Structure 1
């Protein structure tokens, strides 16, 4: 019996991608709770060690395909992912998850800046407008709530830079690798980096509680193994722009969790600042979305004419 090659329905694709944003948004909440008892690098070490073990089970029959090239490329991408997750936990530990979630979304604007600096790509007026909105939003965050732009906010912004680096690294480094094996190597690389970082800090005096261990379990299973698998399986059926629009929901979930679960409250100017940063990420993606739709519509309109000309020839 032949394996079906039909793509899933658009409704199913977007449902799954939105579900991944819910799990990623939940990681802000569970990480914040876990960090009450577990030092940030240790939290990352435990999370990705467990994720690596889970991927070993998933990839058991694929291990024979693991070659030096996959190891090297997976470790390279894993290094960027390690910097992302280490900065993520330190950022969440130093600020509210509401602010961290919004600031992490700045990766959308860091991508064109990095490609401009490294590959001399054109930034474009739309991205420049987004960057301007983001600067205004950060200024409002720094001045509107009385706490200023604190260390956690700064690290969360650095985390957005590393998220952009990881996305670019994936697109530039990975080839036709087995995505499951690459994910396993990535997770193992992050666990190693976090383990080394943990050795430089004092160990906690007491064992983590059951609640803290459950936060590690959640973060290892859902926003790590589960989301990576779903993303690899379903994102290929939509354009990067459409996927990016869906992923802007991440800070929405972190804001909701911070408000209703942790009781986080933002001053009016902080809400305005978060809104500007959110729009800074959403605006360029929305413009690209309508630009893509226009190109598709033009192609659909021109296709019958081209086919008619080919028939005449």
Structure 2
């Protein structure tokens, strides 16, 4: 039952993240990378802070008159500062590579869908990294890696080296950072998800703001144009989705969690097509199919071993 609960939470997370690629693509045309990420992170952190305060008030009201275990109460009140800072630094790198990559795609390129599928390769990378952490590579994992490489070739290199965009490289570097973020979250799975998420966005907001001041020309007009994308990315993709990811990973099996979250790439393509009118070329579509297949295959060994929560 917990696995189903976790899977549904992560499905909602994947939908929000997938549609957020449209917001990021729209916002990239109005403001710089650090401006966008600073604004969305501030919004996300403030949103979570308000939710945490409301939750604490409701918890105190519900627990009034009850006998409280002081040790458990102390644990619940603790803010996982160290975990939040580490997650924030890693996620800052991931978000920066991804957002800047999206912003430098040429006009006419399906930036939302393309970046969505390249980002999804982090699922395969998590499986590969596990090998270097002492786990034996299953032959299916090897097939998934080959499929992912083939898919990336069709998606990004079907026209030769000239078919690779700078955005592809940057988004792929972001995917590597997202791989690290997944592994870091798993290490701190016992921490308070909402508080850790709030701290990580505070960290991203602080670093992005300093970077914005020294590297970008911020205008009120630009922020006004990007306001809706910033709010969507901040409240939904940031404040809600990243917290749901942490909660969902506590309940769902790791292999199932990765598969469900990989649907983010499918939602990205659909949202880009419906909202922005983006279209993928036949070879790019085939590449997407191969990447998605590789993502699914990469999780089969974990399922066969019956990983539990």
TM-score range relative to shorter protein: 0.7 to 0.9
Corresponding residue of 1:133 = 147
The residue matched to 1:207 in structure 2 has which SS? helix
1:45 aligns with 38
Aligned residue for 1:47, secondary structure, equals: helix
Structure 2 counterpart of 1:228, from 229, 242, 250: 242
Aligned equivalent of 1:29: 22
- Secondary structure class of the residue paired with 2:283: helix
Structure 1 gap segments, 5+ residues each: 1-6, 297-313
Q: How does 1:227-266 map to 2 (within 5 A)?
A: 227-266=241-280
Over the aligned positions, Cα root-mean-square deviation in angstroms equals: 2.6
Work out whether residues 144 and 298 of structure 2, in 8 Å CA contact, stay in contact via their aligned partners in 1.
yes
Q: Distance in 1 between matches of 2:115 and 2:261?
A: 15
Counterpart in the other structure of 1:106: 121
Q: Is it true that 1:204 corresponds to 2:218 in the alignment?
A: yes
**Contact 2:116-2:269 within 8 A present in 1 as well:** yes
Task: Name segments (4+ residues, structure 1) moved above 4 Å.
Answer: 61-64
Could you say what secondary structure the match of 1:218 adopts? helix
Q: Which residue of 2 aligns with 1:160?
A: 175
2:26 maps to 1:16: no
Question: Who is 2:101 aligned against?
Answer: 91
**Distance in 2 (alpha carbons) for counterparts of 1:205 and 1:50:** 18
Task: Give the distance between the partners of 1:17 and 1:142, measured in 2 at CA.
Answer: 28
| Structure having greater relative contact order (Cα 8 Å, sep ≥ 6) | 2
Secondary structure of 1:121's partner? coil
Q: Which residue of 1 is the match for residue 89 of structure 2?
A: 79
Q: TM-score, normalised by structure 1?
A: 0.81
Give the Cα–Cα distance (whole angstroms) in 2 for the partners of residues 30 and 46 of structure 1: 13
Retained in 2: the 8 A contact 1:49–1:188? yes
C-alpha separation in 2, matches of 1:19 and 1:211: 27
**Relative to structure 1, is the Cα distance of residues 237 and 204 closer, same or farther in structure 2, using a 3 angstrom cutoff?**
closer
Aligned residues: 283
- Alpha-carbon distance in 1 for matches of 2:251, 2:277: 38
Aligned residue number for residue 171 of structure 1: 186
2:198 is the counterpart of 1:184: yes
Instruction: Encode CA deviations 1:131-167: one digit per residue, 9 max, x unaligned.
Output: 1111111222233368611110111111111111001
Please give the alpha-carbon distance, in whole angstroms, between the structure 1 residues aligned to 2:197 and 2:120.
Answer: 22
Structure 2: gaps of 5 or more residues: 58-73, 106-110
* C-alpha distance in structure 2 between counterparts of 1:195 and 1:16, whole Å: 31
Q: Partners of 1:260 and 1:127 in 2: how far apart?
A: 33
